[in-house]
Structure 1
Amino acid sequence: MEVVNSVLEKIRSFFLKPLPEFFFPISCILFAYVLIMNSWVTEDAYISFKTVENFLNGFGLRWNTYERVQAYTHPLWLFGLIFLSFWTIPVYYSSLILSWICVGLTACLLVARFGKKEGNLFHGSWIFLILLTSRAFVDFSSSGLENPLSFLLIVLFLGKAFDLEKKADFRDIFLFFFYLSLSYLNRQDTVLLGLPFLLYLYKPLKENKSWGRFIGAAILGLLPVVLWSAFSLVYYGYLFPNTAYAKLNTDLTVSHLWPYGIEYLKNSFRWDIFTSLTISSVILFLPYFLWKKKFLQAALSIGVGLYTLYVCSIGGDFMAGRFFALPFVACIFLFSGFSGAYIPRVSVLFFVALFLLNQNSYLYITKDYTRLRNDGEIQDEKGAYFRSTNLLRSINFKEFPTHGWADVGRNYKKTPKNPDKACSTINVGFYGYFAGENRKIIDSNALTDPLLSKLKSVSNWRVGHFTRNLPLGYLESVTSGQNLIQDPNLKVYYDRLKLLTESEDLFTKERFMEILRENLGGNRNLIQNSGPRTPWVGIPEDFRCGLGVGY
């Protein structure tokens, strides 16, 4: 018995010891290596890239240059890309540089938070390693999407939210709402992680009775959202991105989408067990946090739970892990505030078991990595596109990415055929970017199309790809510039829509009245989706973009 107790005591003392300081430079180098070696860009990111190029070329914040449509979900990320690309950096590399900056700062803030608590910065080296153990985090630490900036903003927001327990003066309240605003501008649904903290604000406010200063600080902090919303309403005619209408205005109910959301959750457990267990543990800790009256930790637990429920309610996504990377970072923020006992060395063991000893981990990735995996509607997006878009291969090719859809776009731009004729496809990323600014392209998935985003999706939809059937005469209308839509009600609606998206003068009384009518639902009678959902009939052969059969 004494031998057993002695062994247990040695094990306990081993886990209670802080990590050796030489771990810190090793973990930093390993983190940077994995981050760079796994840098890639998804096809969907090129939808935003085209808006960046059009803006820098003087066409405004547009996707198709003939109409104003917000074909991006993330204004803040987009402006970051515009800023870097302005200095003649190709937008592909701008997205990677911005991703590295955001992810690097995120990791450093987490390490500094733990190091400050322990009194030694070097004790936080485990955070670099534990982040790498999450497949979702590594996958979307680049990709060209807005995730890296969301990581940074949620850490900044949570840091300020947890500081309110110590003090809640004007500056602190302002920064609380300011970071929340920036999170909203980067991706609107991320604010779900922060909403529970609004309830906690009642405590310091009640103690200080500073309601006037609170309201002033809150208004000032929320000003970026107000200003952007006003701009969006005037410029685009809508408060929200067209992508939101395309994915939420499908006439599908939660009962349709919830089963797909559950499958998305199950897929995370199958393909990314550490991320899933980390998120689950924080949600399950909620009763403990409430019992111990740790209300800030409870607010974070509720936020992670709300966000997870939201992801399930919208059907998840077709990109495996994309929507679980952000709550994972929020969970690591929570753990970084705990006492150093056990957590660092247990985290290193997880890293060794799930990453270092796993031959399929991203530590051993090469530039020729391909992993075509599908789990029902869910795809390993990185495995599908990495070989065509990763950083290391970009050095060896003059024309990059090396993807067939990009080549079709390049070929069209070199030798355009029927340049005034519109075409339609369901894969607008690579093709839309490389075909050039003059090509009129209709996105059958409605992400970039203001008319189709208001119509119901087809019966054989896929999560994240809510395809619409093209109204008769619509392609001819875009080609000719005249309204040739055959449905009489839809024809009237299209005329009104063009006033919002194509009129040269933004500041006419007629246009402002139409913005008001559209956003208050005055046009719904013209686009009633009362008929049964029908299968996709495809794109007329004469109007296909030429990406291949079915595209």
Structure 2
Amino acid sequence: MPIVKDFKFWLIAGLGLIYFSLIYYSKWVSSDGLSVTYQSYNVLNGLGLVWNLGERTYVSTSPLFTIVSIPLTYIFDLLFNVFHISDNKIFNIPIIINMIFSITSITMILRYLYLKTTTSKPEKIFILLFSFGLLLASKFYIDFSTSGLENSLSYSVIAWFTILSMNEENPKSVFLLPIAVALVFLTRYDFFLIVCPTILYYFYKHKFTKGFITMCIIILSWLAFSFFYFGSIFPNSFYLKTNNFNIYQSLFYYKENIFESKPMFLLIALGLYSSYFTNKKIFLGIIFYLIYIFLVRDYMFGRLFTILVPISIISIIEFISTKEIRVYKKNFIKVSAFSLILFALMFFFPPVVKLYADKYVKGHFILTNEREYYTEKFSNINFIYNKPIKDVTSISNNVQMLHTPLLPESRNTYFIDPVGLASPFITYYIKNYGSKGERPGHYFVNIDQLKQIGLFESVLLNKNILRDKDTAELYDDVNIVSKGSIFSLERLKTIIKLHTHNYKSTKNE
């Protein structure tokens, strides 16, 4: 092998090693991440996708991550036991799973870089090294490479999708591209916005190929399972994040995220520019997704943006390997100048910032650095799996409850999630009656009010004694859907009612 080729290989391998070192050093797990581990153990113990015993609920926003976590949790739990490693395995298993997917994604990206780069031109080498420097300096991309959440899986599936998209005429890509789209969709439904332009063009050009039919079977199979098993094709969070748009909060959300991780957003900007010239369908997908994030927001710094990093770096690699830089030099300068002026006006120019900063009320919308918070919070906790049991003696409505079932003191406890992510009754109560709070998608119900009308007593006695007619009706219907026989006709009718009926009567408005 020529020395130049050897050098390229070791340089690329070095980038991978730096990435691994960074994610290992910054490894952590969030409360939401531990919820996937908890449900995985419930499935492995024959209880199904439940939170409380016998109560099916659609907690995770990522069906695919939940599905793949179940066998991986079993494998690593077995290995921990075989080698007598008992040091907080509940905490470490999701980190290992995340690392597998993160390393898979960076391996695909670096392999693509190795295969596509044949240039020795200094300006091209500089741009590539600069871009990978931005990737390694992207705080939130590195942070969410672990965390227990689906981000690491999203890096892998979106990297695979993007690489296939760059070679869409290849016979293998014609078959595999729609399957990659299905996996992206099942990682998070909202990621479909990224792949939508590509799959629409694919269908226009190729119609019903074997790959497209396979994609439809995969997606429809999950939606059918979800409808009959959970009583909904959407995760609980879907009902908690709708109808909460606020343009002032959205501007603030973008501003704070950009300022917190400038390298990541610079990389996304370069990727957006590159994708315009290499694959306009990818370009449109990024635009659609950025608009969507502006509309829905999130309370976690950076989480929703990280999926754009693999797309961006692959687009840059494709641009460098197929285009002549000098041809685009003037165009790039013009676009960059315009973008910087627009950015400065929106986020630095005092009169403009004042327009939304004055109307943004602090305390009504917060953003959190999840890694900093949970690294400190979970530093001295030894999590264990408590199998849900029938005899409930206490009720927990902890506001940080998604990890609570894994605490040692959580036996004989029924968990009521005040934001509705894990409690089906609270989810549909919020859907009908609304909630208040500081974090989009994590607004709280008035638990004290529900306690006063008999919710806790109803749970402990396993009998509906709610003293509000509408709430009692909702409680019964949710129990039929979450606890009833999956294929009963009564349950099917109740599922339809639950999604169409307004349980909030005039007297309660």
Match of 2:380 in 1: 402
Match of 1:111 in 2: 110
SS in 2 for 1:422: strand
Contact 1:70–1:241 at 8 Å: present in 2 too? yes
Q: Aligned equivalents of 2:12 and 2:110: distance in 1? A: 10
Contact 1:484–1:491 at 8 Å: present in 2 too? yes
Match of 1:5 in 2: none
Q: Aligned equivalents of 2:505 and 2:398: distance in 1? A: 25
Alignment partner of 1:74 out of 62, 65, 69: 62
Match of 2:229 in 1: 235
**Structure 2 residue 279 is the aligned partner of structure 1 residue 297:** yes
RMSD of Structure 2 on Structure 1 (CA): 3.2
Q: Aligned equivalents of 1:497 and 1:462: distance in 2? A: 25
Match of 2:140 in 1: 136
How much has 1:491 moved relative to structure 2?
1.2
Contact 1:283–1:302 at 8 Å: present in 2 too? no
Match of 2:84 in 1: none
**Structure 2 residue 402 is the aligned partner of structure 1 residue 420:** no
1:14-413 matches, within 5 Å, as 22-87=10-75, 88=77, 89=80, 90-119=89-118, 129-164=133-168, 166-167=169-170, 169=171, 172-201=173-202, 204-205=205-206, 211=207, 213-214=208-209, 216-248=210-242, 252-254=243-245, 256=246, 258-283=247-272, 289=276, 294=277, 297-314=279-296, 316-339=297-320, 377-389=366-378, 401-403=379-381
Q: Aligned equivalents of 2:403 and 2:203: distance in 1? A: 48
Over 3 Å counting, the alpha-carbon distance change for 1:438 and 1:159 in structure 2 is farther
Match of 2:414 in 1: 440
Contact 1:267–1:375 at 8 Å: present in 2 too? no
Over 3 Å counting, the alpha-carbon distance change for 1:375 and 1:517 in structure 2 is closer
Contact 1:192–1:307 at 8 Å: present in 2 too? yes
SS in 2 for 1:485: coil
Over 3 Å counting, the alpha-carbon distance change for 1:528 and 1:126 in structure 2 is farther
Name the count of aligned residue pairs.
440
Q: Aligned equivalents of 1:162 and 1:264: distance in 2? A: 32
How much has 1:531 moved relative to structure 2?
6.0
Please list the CA deviations of residues 140-191 of structure 1 after superposition, one character each: whole Å capped at 9, or x if unmatched: 0000000000010001111222222x34x5x534422211111121211111
Q: Aligned equivalents of 1:125 and 1:105: distance in 2? A: 20
Match of 1:515 in 2: 495
Q: Aligned equivalents of 1:493 and 1:284: distance in 2? A: 50
Q: Aligned equivalents of 2:134 and 2:478: distance in 1? A: 49
Contact 1:40–1:142 at 8 Å: present in 2 too? yes
**Structure 2 residue 403 is the aligned partner of structure 1 residue 430:** yes
Contact 2:298–2:439 at 8 Å: present in 1 too? no
Q: Which amino acid aligns with 1:259?
A: Y
Contact 2:59–2:421 at 8 Å: present in 1 too? yes
- Scaled by the length of structure 1, the TM-score of the pair is 0.72
Q: Which amino acid aligns with 2:260?
A: W
Q: Aligned equivalents of 2:135 and 2:191: distance in 1? A: 19
How much has 1:233 moved relative to structure 2?
1.3
How much has 1:489 moved relative to structure 2?
1.8
Over 3 Å counting, the alpha-carbon distance change for 1:178 and 1:202 in structure 2 is closer
Contact 1:140–1:148 at 8 Å: present in 2 too? yes
Q: Which amino acid aligns with 2:111?
A: A
How much has 1:128 moved relative to structure 2?
5.5
How much has 1:424 moved relative to structure 2?
1.4
SS in 2 for 1:145: coil
Q: Which runs of no fewer than 5 residues in structure 2 stay unpaired?
A: 1-5, 81-88, 327-362
Contact 2:12–2:110 at 8 Å: present in 1 too? no
Percent of residue pairs bearing the same amino acid type: 22
Q: Which amino acid aligns with 2:495?
A: I
Match of 1:452 in 2: 426
SS in 1 for 2:279: helix
Q: Which runs of no fewer than 5 residues in structure 1 stay unpaired?
A: 1-17, 206-210, 344-373, 390-400, 533-551
- Scaled by the length of structure 2, the TM-score of the pair is 0.78
Q: Which amino acid aligns with 1:229?
A: L
How much has 1:27 moved relative to structure 2?
2.6
Over 3 Å counting, the alpha-carbon distance change for 1:301 and 1:510 in structure 2 is same
Match of 1:506 in 2: 486
Stretch deviating more after TM superposition (136-145 or 64-73): 64-73
Q: Aligned equivalents of 2:294 and 2:439: distance in 1? A: 15
